[in-house]
Amino acid sequence: MTSEMEKRLFTTEKFGGRALYKLHAATVFVGICMLLCYRATRVPAAGAGRAAWLGMLAAELWFSFYWVITQSVRWCPIRRHTFKDKLAARYGERLPCVDIFVCTADPQSEPPSLVMATVLSLLAYNYPPEKLSIYLSDDGGSILTFYAMWEATAFAKHWLPFCRRHNIEPRSPAAYFAQSNMHHDPSALQEWSFVKGLYEGMIERIDSVVKSSKVPEEIRVNHKGFSEWNIRITSKDHQPIVQILIDGKGNDAVDSEGNVLPTLVYVAREKRPQYHHNFKAGAMNALIRVSSVISNGPIILNVDCDMYSNSSDSIRDALCFFLDEEMGHKIAFVQYPQNFNNMTKNNIYSFSLNAINQVEMSGLDTWGGPMYIGTGCFHRRETLCGRRFTKDYKEDWGRGIKTKKHIDQTQEKAKLLATCTYEDNTQWGNEIGVKYGYPTEDVITGLAILCRGWQSVYRNPPRPAFIGVGPTTLAQTILQHKRWCEGNFSIFLSKYCPFLIGHGKTSLPHQMGSSIYGLWAPNSLPTLYYVVIPSLGLLKGIPLFPETMSPWITPFMYVPIVKNIYSAYEGVSSGDTLKGWWNGQRMWLVRRITSYLYGVIDTIIKLLGLSNMGFAVSPKVSGEDESKRYEEEIMEFGMSSPEYAIIASIALLNLVCLVGGLYQIMASGENMTLNGFFLQVLLCGLLVIINIPIYEAMFFRKDTGRIPFSVTQASVGFVLLALFLCRVKTRWNKALSRRRYKYSAAVSSTGENEKSLNAGTKPGYICVWRKKR
């Protein structure tokens, strides 16, 4: 037993406290059943109350269903630990070749200087350089990016030895030099300043070339690669370009100490206007083919161009899974979490994904593995290319092309694999490679791999492995979540729905866990209902919850209180502050009534084939004031857009309802008691408290990030409209029911009676309304 354990390169540890968790979940489940039972058996007979009540029932049914779905990943999450020292002892430097893919699309929105910081951090991995190859796919086909890479090649010759000698972390020069603490070793100070100077010089040159959009002629003569670009080339129309900048053999490129540098390749696949390019999935597939004739490493790491490596040992870390003797042969990919810099202490926009990273992905790992999230993922090349899992399959870790033939020949061969027509009549994008046709193609690719019998592994090391740039404004956050939820929702509605594709192939809890993100979007409607109708009910005197004296109030109190205590615990234990958790609740609301709502509407519009215009959320680049407010954790609005109007209207509506409702309770005494409306007051009150920053942004702030006056006006308009409609509706209903009642009570009454009845109950506002029309 112990010798077995000693052989393992990684261990798996269960999360603690699961018995307690399961007990808590069981009580919540009972609470939910009681709550639904109460709802279902006490539907009011008629009137506005009935419709509102049925709506509440529908919303609560949805929330209950979604809660059950999310239990799958919380039931028994696991953590993985690796033993890199054992890997080193067993394999030494006899490690497999690793190919790293970075995809960039546009030098304007993804500045080449930023992309190069990522590339340099990857080049500087603590890994045998002759076994490491980095491929940058430039879907912008831009000479500016190629120029930046040429500059980075020169800088790498100084950067890599510097990192190695002083064991520097992180190895992205941008992140490293941004740290305020200088190198402590005084003898290294001179070298530190020298390398810093080189880096700053490089960034200045790259930025100025990007700004002018032109590479000077005297630079173009330095590398024959520049001759690929002529005046006719545009980002949407160009031949395939493959340039090996460093060939990894040490012919022309060794670092300043004479060591070999990793292979570095620039790839711009062919683009023609008449061919669909399939976005990032198309770029990934081109890279898989191009790399197969250059290095053909059995392991492929895929990172986003803004995601630098924060830990130089990550490759060895991931290999502990693939090379493990007991489990390794089953593992198709190792997924690392997405971490972000630029997160503030209390996470004002709640973008750190802490709960997802710490709990939900670990929970999926229990049931067969996390999905592939498109970045920070190590793949086995064979599985990415469509291989099914079989027990007797043995990976040839020694494979890979180490001695390269003529660079020119290799480049020509690679170019043929990156043409538009190469994939015609092949299974690329379907059975082979990353799948085409969906906005979140990574997720279905990962699911398909798991359905072919493989496992995946989630690894969340103590030292974050990959760091990306997270959104720092509200608009960016809303946009990012809209993209995610829309992509996942459209997958859920497609033939790739986890319940369909996984049926009989993955376990039910895995299917449930993989559906969580697909079901984000539909949460919007019940949430919207829940934050509007009970509050309006309070104002109108329509009770929607049990009275304080009723025993039924127990589940209505227990379920939300316990759920929120648990959620706060989960947040805090995942690294949030308590205030960060509170901010997260606000953003939970904001996301559901904006991003997710747009996601649902857009998906439906697309499904109906009406158009692909949809909602556009426009994030803007942040200025200095904004960055300052971001650091101070003040919410940023600034411009008028419909999503802000929704947020402001909901906030305002709840304030009005709370004040109006409380006033009526105090004024009317008998008719409306606090007893009967306690939970509605509580719900409405909580919504008001959580929205305090929104009221501030509407009425009190003076800075440019406040909610613009036009948005405030619009939301006041909406609220008035809602109150008006609601008034119309209840009066109308009352009128109708009274009339019906009187009608049946006096079937044989005279026509005169009938007339007076009409006059007496005819609501006055309708006349007003008609007059206005």
Ligand X SMILES: *[C@@H]1O[C@H](CO)[C@@H](O)[C@H](O)[C@H]1NC(C)=O
Among 341, 574, 704, 761, binds ligand X (CB under 6 A): 341
CB of 461 to ligand X, least distance (A): 9
110 marked as part of a ligand binding site:
yes
d(CA 721, CA 141): 51
Half-sphere exposure for 270 (CA within 13 Å, toward CB): 15
Does 339 engage in binding with ligand X (CB under 6 A)?
yes
3-class secondary structure, 223 = coil
Does 178 engage in binding with ligand X (CB under 6 A)?
yes
- Cα–Cα–Cα angle for 12, 15, 17, nearest 5°? 150
CB of 162 to ligand X, least distance (A): 18
Q: Give the amino acid at 694.
A: I
Count of residues in the chain = 773
> What is the full DSSP assignment across 462-502?
SS-SEEEEPP-SHHHHHHHHHHHHHHHHHHHTSTT-HHHHT
CB of 8 to ligand X, least distance (A): 25
Please identify which of the residues 138, 324, 442, 576 carries the catalytic annotation: 442
In the chain, what is the greatest distance between 2 CA atoms, to the nearest angstrom? 110
Is the CB of residue 731 less than 8 Å from the CB of residue 721?
no
> What is the full DSSP assignment across 253-286?
-B-TTSPBPPEEEEEE--B-TTS---HHHHHHHH
List the x/- string, 467-496, binding to ligand X by CB under 6 A: x----x------------------------
3-class secondary structure, 459 = coil
CB of 96 to ligand X, least distance (A): 25
Residue 315, judged by CB atoms within 10 A of its CB (0-12, 13-18, 19+), counts as buried
Does 463 engage in binding with ligand X (CB under 6 A)?
yes
Of the pair 183, 592, the CB lying nearest ligand X is at 183
Burial readout 450-463 (b: 16 or more C-beta within 10 A, e: otherwise):
bbbbbbbbbbbbee
Q: Is 139 a catalytic residue?
A: yes
Q: What is the dihedral angle through the alpha carbons of 298, 303, 307, 311, rounded to the nearest 10 degrees?
A: -20
Among 297, 464, 471, 543, binds ligand X (CB under 6 A): 464
Options 235-243, 244-252, 257-265, 336-344: segment touching ligand X (CB under 6 A): 336-344
Among 82, 113, 310, 347, binds ligand X (CB under 6 A): 310
CB of 678 to ligand X, least distance (A): 44
Among 235, 296, 342, 573, binds ligand X (CB under 6 A): 342
d(CA 479, CA 705): 18
Among 82, 490, 622, 649, binds ligand X (CB under 6 A): 622
Query: Which residue do the tokens 């880096």 mark?
Result: 199
Tokens standing for residue 645: 């109007």
d(CA 70, CA 380): 29
Q: Tell me the site size for ligand X, rule CB under 6 A.
A: 13
Query: Which residue do the tokens 């031949």 mark?
Result: 239
What is the H or E stretch that residue 13 is in? strand 10-14
CB of 463 to ligand X, least distance (A): 4
Of the pair 342, 550, the CB lying nearest ligand X is at 342
139 marked as part of a ligand binding site:
yes
CB of 203 to ligand X, least distance (A): 12
Of the pair 354, 622, the CB lying nearest ligand X is at 622
Is the CB of residue 130 less than 8 Å from the CB of residue 99?
no
237 marked as part of a ligand binding site:
no
Please identify which of the residues 138, 139, 247, 317 carries the catalytic annotation: 139
Of the pair 260, 467, the CB lying nearest ligand X is at 467
Options 339-347, 493-501, 705-713, 733-741: segment touching ligand X (CB under 6 A): 339-347
Does 199 engage in binding with ligand X (CB under 6 A)?
no
Does 170 engage in binding with ligand X (CB under 6 A)?
yes
Residues in binding site for Mn(2+): 280, 304
Binding residues for UDP-alpha-D-glucose: 110, 139
**Which residues sit at the interface with ligand X, rule CB under 6 A?**
170, 178, 310, 339, 341-342, 463-464, 467, 472, 622, 627, 630
Active site residues: 139, 442
